[in-house]
Amino acid sequence: MHLISLSIHSTMGKIHIQSTPPSLEIHQQPADQTIKQPKAELTIFKTSSQLLIDQTEAWNNLDLKSAFVRIREAAENGHQAVLEGIARRAEEGDDLLHIERGGNAIKEHAIKHTIRDHTYDTGHTPPFLAVKESYTPSRLKVDWQTKKPIVDVKSHAPTFHPERGHVDITMEHYPSVTLSVVGGQMNEVV
């Protein structure tokens, strides 16, 4: 009796997996920036320097006097001469009043009035430091008014472009099972 055998042949199934990874694109535009710098204000304040030279005393010493000085001096001299004249006349009056005491008062007065003592001054070199000077230096004041810069920044939001990833699964090989009978025949006897 030959036994029948059953042969089983199976093939494994194969799947093919193909995946595409996800991607993400990000675009960032640069920010818009404007900077304005107002001009600074500069203020300069300057006083003039001043040099004063007074030569009046030197000119007067050289007898190069101004009309005002000559008039003032003439007035002072006239006043002094009036006072001296009053004093002289008072003294001469006293002399004449007491003529009985002796002496020749009228003759002495005549001699005194005829002799004049006069000196002529041609002027001379001015004394040291006759010229007076004073100097006021100039002053300089610099004032800066600075201004802050005006900065304006406008930012842009980033843009995102995502791409989904995906997975493709396909059957590369389907599974199979094959059954086959190997061997002789089988008679069934009951």
Q: What is the DSSP string of 79-143?
A: HHHHHHHHHHHHHHHHHHHTGGGSS-HHHHHHHHHH----------PPPTT-SEEEEE---EEEE
pLDDT given for residue 120 in this prediction: 63
- Which tokens belong to 100? 């009985």
Number of structural domains, the chain? 1
The whole model's pTM is what?
Answer: 0.36
Neighbours of 151 (CB within 10 A): 10
pLDDT given for residue 122 in this prediction: 59
pLDDT given for residue 44 in this prediction: 93
3 close to 126: Cβ distance less than 8 angstroms: no
- Indicate whether 19 belongs to any domain: yes
41 forms beta bridges with 145
pLDDT given for residue 49 in this prediction: 93
- Indicate whether 173 belongs to any domain: yes
- Indicate whether 154 belongs to any domain: yes
Question: Along the 190 residues of the chain, how does pLDDT read in single tens digits?
Answer: 566 777 888 888 899 999 999 999 999 999 999 999 999 999 999 999 999 998 888 887 777 888 888 899 899 999 999 999 899 888 888 888 877 777 788 888 888 878 777 666 655 666 777 888 999 999 999 999 999 999 999 998 999 999 998 999 998 888 888 888 777 665 565 5
Please provide residue 154's backbone torsions phi and psi, each rounded to the nearest 5 degrees.
-120, 110
- Indicate whether 152 belongs to any domain: yes
Please provide residue 111's backbone torsions phi and psi, each rounded to the nearest 5 degrees.
-65, -45
pLDDT given for residue 37 in this prediction: 93
pLDDT given for residue 25 in this prediction: 92
127 close to 62: Cβ distance less than 8 angstroms: no
Q: For the chain, give the number of residues.
A: 190
- Indicate whether 176 belongs to any domain: yes
pLDDT given for residue 2 in this prediction: 62
- Indicate whether 5 belongs to any domain: yes
- Indicate whether 164 belongs to any domain: yes
Go through 72-83 and write b for each residue having 16 or more CB atoms within 10 A of its CB, e for each that does not. eeeeeeeeeeee
Supply angle C-alpha 27, 31, 36, rounded to 5.
Answer: 170
Please provide residue 6's backbone torsions phi and psi, each rounded to the nearest 5 degrees.
-110, 125
Kindly calculate the radius of gyration of the chain based on its CA atoms and give it in whole angstroms.
69
pLDDT given for residue 66 in this prediction: 85
49 forms beta bridges with none
Whole domain around residue 190: which residue ranges? 1-38+147-190
- Indicate whether 114 belongs to any domain: no
